[in-house]
Amino acid sequence: MGRNKGHSPRIDRQDHVADCVDMACFTAANAREMAARSHEARRERSLIPENDPATTANLPDYVAQRLVRVRKQLDRLDRLIMTVEDPQKLDRLASAQARLSEQERILDGRPLPGSLKPKPPKPPPRYLPEPE
Series of mean pLDDT values for 10-residue runs along the chain (132 residues)? 53 54 70 84 70 54 88 94 94 96 89 81 80 72
pLDDT score of 27:
82
Question: 123 lies in a domain?
Answer: no
Determine the pLDDT at residue 14: 55
Please tell me the total count of domains within the chain: 2
pLDDT recorded at residue 118: 74
Note whether residue 4 is domain-resident: no
Alpha carbons within 13 angstroms on the beta-carbon side of residue 23 total 3
With CA atoms as reference, report the closest residue to 102 among 93, 112, 88: 112
Range of the domain at 29: 13-47
The answer to whether residue 70 sits within a structural domain is yes
pLDDT at 31: 83
For residues 104 and 73, state if they share a domain: yes
pLDDT at res. 44? 78
Question: What is the structure's pLDDT at 56?
Answer: 46
Same domain, 62 and 100: yes
